[in-house]
Chains A and B, each alone.
Chain A
Amino acid sequence: MVQRLLVKDSLLRNLKSGLTAILLTSLVLAGCSSGSKDNTPDAKPNEAGKGTSTAIGSSYPLNTTESITSWEILNMNAVTFYSNLAETPFGKALADKTGVQVEYIHPNDQQTAEQFNLMIASDELPDVIEYDWTGRSAGSYPGGPEKAIQDGVILELNELIDQYAPNLKKKLEADPTLDQMVKTDSGKYYVFPMIRNPSGLVFRGPMIRQDWLDELGLPVPTTIEEWEKTLIAFRDEKGAKAPLSVTYTGGNFEIRDAFIGAYRTSNSFYVDDEGKVKYGPIDPQYKDFLALFRKWFAEGLFDKDFALTDTKALDNKILTGQTGATVHLLSGGMGKWMDAMKGQDPKFKLVGAPYPTLLKDEVPFIGQRDFKYNPGPSKAITTAAKNPELIVRWLDYAYSDEGAMLYNFGIEGESYAMENGAPVYTDLIKNNEKYSLQQMVSQYSKPNGPYEADERRNWNTFPEQDEAVKVWAKTDAEKHTLPGFLTPTAEESKELGKILTEVSNYKEEMFVKFIVGKEPMESYDKYVEQIKKLGIERAVEIYQSALDRYNSR
């Protein structure tokens, strides 16, 4: 009897585990949310700091004993040294200068999205949250900033910025493009933005082994034809098993728009010369791109295992000389690999190659170019904030001249010194024996966060990196990239979500099949037909209207 009971229990457990595993998220959500849910809507914030006098003052350090809580990622490099931003030299200096004590809550780097969701669901909000609120990508707040404000999660900042953030206000007024990006269609501000510096906008592109090229007497390839010749040489003369390889992670082909741009289309939505939104993967030209990679794959010019290549595998291929060309990041790729090979193979050298085109001297149709506004490391103030004025003043410090120096370069005399009126990193940062510049910088300044990145700041370790940025920047990407801060309405978002999930799944699957040769090129028309059936035209329509609204912001 007891045994039967036990068996029964374990059966139940097995049954349940099926259900509970799927509902795991809801389980935790359920536990946390049931009680606290009902009292939120009326817990409206103190409207724009009402009731708090201006006793804090407007000059730093502020006159306060209150502390605030901030949820934000701790920079990966800083984790090497400290477990909390408050303990870093930067955190201490910031507290000193602003007079505000901050309790930082750091989510686990790997599970930021999950932890963000749990936090929102449990309604235990800190005062400030540094996160992507745009709703433009998986992981950011679903429905976007308007929805977040309407849901009562974060505050609309228009009045607060008007009253208490003179430094940010100045920047927004001086830069209409930035202003257009950081507000919603209805003109609401929702974050203190991270503003990239102009040289920080381009950070990804094709790169190639310069030492191999020199050995073979080849120039850096610019056209598709030259690329093919180069890759053949890599295969035949250098014995590269995967002459061209890129990462493929989470259903994402990281070649992005390189090579595809040569055919005047894109791997996703883009804006054509007439300002109309288009979906690249169903363009007739896209077929030519697929045919090219199909050919390269068959001939062994393109990695035979490309769909299995994650970052680690790519590292391995590059460092062992199986791959001579890739499309990857400036410092997370180029810098990292050159650094790793410094001791082993002094000849090893990567250079940035221009985005390939079909004809010589053509300007690449599209490339990688990000926006001035970087929503990820931008901070919103939640409805839980008791003293929004204090928080706004604290955040606004980063946009002041003094704050900008701290956020960008750290502490004068310690991490940087002024030479001829320009900040220069000290030897402590630049020439540290044990740690890289990025690691050192992460302790003394904030690599990412809501402030304006300084033009004079440069974290590149190799001159080839500076060169690569210049090469990669020469594209028409700005004209053809769909602005990242479109805000479809809540209704549209829902519809869009459904369509895009199905479309991108289908597209990705067919993409790989076309390249490895499992699907005949003749079925391209059928594939386009199917994507249309899944509703791509409606998605394009939604993006078009969102773009129109964006342009008229």
Chain B
Amino acid sequence: MAKIPPPTRTSIPSKPSNSAGLNPRNWGLLKDISKNRFLYIMLIPVLLYFAVFHYFPMYGASIAFKEFSPRLGIIGSPWAGWEHFESFFNGIYFWRVVKNTLLISFYELLFGFPAPIILALLLNEVRKAAFKRTVQTITYMPHFISLVVVCGIIKEFTMSDGLINDILAFLGWERVSLLLESEYFRTLFVTSGIWQNIGWGTIIYLAALAGIDQEQYEAAKIDGANRWRQMLNVTLPGIMPTIIILFILEIGRLMNVGSEKVILLYNPSIYDTADVISSYVYRVGLQEFNYSFSSAVGLFNSAINFTLVIGSNWLSRRMNKTSLW
């Protein structure tokens, strides 16, 4: 990579000081503001939003290091140091919840992430508009069903006399209460997730597909490429940036397995595969009012997420020059 020459400052007059007492370096910015003032005004609400709702509350993270008591408040509560982190790391469930979180996320990434891409590519090959629309509508419907209802359906279907077991029994298998068997939980979780989100995820890829220049297909056809070749050499590269960006975003959520869904589905007999960091936090921390402990665990979780995003962004920049920043 070529070295970028240092910016020359010819446009900035190098006056040592001025009457307003402003740093001369700010001149450029000030000029820009006065020129594009409406753009900057439009930026204010966004900045405020992040400051108020995302940055300011972060000082609340300090309760992870405190013996938090609601009455004393965040500032007034006594310090506890690393105590909560230590009790999490030394707890008997530390490795289990970390492992489960990573495994479920990994499976979701492995099977859940490509699913909408595949569906989008398939839909792209469909020439009948009416059929395409119908498939799309049907597949994105589940996205609008409330999670509680979805989990109710899953529970109902997997009971020992539920639909899935009826089918299994018909095929000559034995009836098992699927949600009581730890080995099925991840499969159930991931497949139901795909069912829920595949159609919705497809939308963005279809939009990206629509943006591909049709002339490229024409050119490929002239070069003798069949449909499969066209897909590999034109379509896929065309949506690659979208895929990568969504992939990095997905990595950022790696440790945030949907705790609501886990909590709605799990039960003690399958804790060993179903209990993830966030459900553990919910059970131990919020249900029993151990705010400090749960925010310590949450902070640990976020730290890992943060590292993962930075890492994957770096990797992606190194490998195919597409990145978030």
Q: Which residues of A contact B (CB under 8 A)?
A: 4, 7-16, 18-23, 25-27, 29-31, 33-34, 37-38, 117, 120-121, 123, 138-139, 142, 151-153, 241, 248, 250-251, 304-305, 307-308, 497-498, 501-502, 505-506, 508-509, 511-513, 516, 518, 530, 534
Contact = CB atoms under 8 A, between A and B. Distances in A.
- From B54, B71, B179, name the one whose CB has the most chain A CB atoms within 10 angstroms: B71
A518 B269 contact: yes
B306 A15 contact: yes
B289 A19 contact: no
B75 A516 contact: no
Contacts of B291: 25-26
A534 B182 CA distance: 24
B49 to A, nearest CB: 10
B168 interface: no
Contact of B298 (A23, A121, A138, A530): A23
B82 to A, nearest CB: 15
A307 B267 contact: yes
Contacts of A8: 324-325
Interface in B48-88: 50, 53-54, 57-61, 63, 68-76, 87
Nearest to A3: B245
Given A8-B324, A15-B306, A308-B177, A501 B290 contact: yes
Listed from nearest, the 8 A-B pairs whose CB atoms lie closest are: A22-B298, A26-B60, A121-B70, A33-B73, A512-B269, A37-B73, A307-B267, A27-B57
B138 interface: no
B73 A22 contact: no
Contacts of A512: 180, 267-269
B283 interface: yes
Contacts of B289: 117, 138-139, 142
Nearest to B280: A505
Nearest to B55: A16
B281 A22 contact: yes
Nearest to A10: B249
Given A9-B46, A29-B74, A305 B288 contact: no
B189 interface: no
Given A8-B324, A120-B70, A304-B180, 4 more contacts: A23-B298, A121-B70, A250-B287, A305-B160
B253 A18 contact: yes
Interface in B243-269: 245, 248-249, 252-253, 255-256, 267-269
A456 B106 CA distance: 63
A326 to B, nearest CB: 17
B294 interface: yes
Interface of B: 46, 50, 53-54, 57-61, 63, 68-76, 87, 91-93, 155, 159-161, 175, 177, 179-180, 182, 245, 248-249, 252-253, 255-256, 267-269, 271-272, 278, 281, 283-284, 286-291, 294-295, 297-299, 301-302, 305-306, 309, 324-325
Most buried by A among B180, B268, B297, B309: B268
Nearest to A152: B71
Contact of B177 (A18, A34, A304): A304
Given A8-B325, A34-B73, A308-B159, A26 B63 contact: yes
Which residue, A26, A29, A123, A250, has most C-beta atoms of chain B within 10 A? A26
A530 B287 CA distance: 24
20 contacts: A11-B248, A12-B50, A15-B309, A18-B298, A18-B305, A19-B302, A22-B278, A22-B281, A23-B298, A26-B291, A29-B74, A33-B74, A37-B73, A151-B72, A305-B177, A308-B159, A509-B271, A512-B180, A516-B180, A534-B92
Given A22-B302, A30-B60, A498-B87, A14 B249 contact: yes
How would you classify the secondary structure of chain A's contact residues: helix, strand, loop or mixed?
A: helix
Nearest to B286: A25
A241 B161 contact: yes
Contact of B75 (A34, A308, A497, A511): A34
A34 B74 contact: yes
Given A12-B54, A308-B180, A30 B283 contact: no
A304 B162 CA distance: 12
A33 B155 CA distance: 41
Contacts of A4: 324-325
Given A4-B325, A29-B74, A121-B70, A304 B283 contact: no
Contacts of A16: 54
A34 B75 CA distance: 7
A497 to B, nearest CB: 7
A12 to B, nearest CB: 7
A241 B70 CA distance: 48
Nearest to B305: A18
B58 to A, nearest CB: 7
Contacts of A31: 57
Contacts of B269: 307, 509, 512-513, 516, 518
Nearest to B303: A19
A308 B274 CA distance: 14
Contacts of A498: 87
Given A11-B252, A509-B268, A509-B271, A307 B60 contact: no
A19 B61 contact: yes
A209 to B, nearest CB: 20
Nearest to A514: B269
A15 B305 contact: yes
Given A22-B298, A33-B73, A506 B46 contact: no
A305 B283 contact: no
B74 A505 contact: no
Contacts of B61: 19, 23, 26
Contacts of A27: 57, 60
A152 B70 CA distance: 12
Given A11-B324, A20-B54, A251-B268, A308 B155 contact: yes
A26 B179 contact: no
Contacts of A9: 46, 50
Contacts of A534: 92
A18 B286 contact: no
Nearest to A26: B60
Contacts of B93: 505
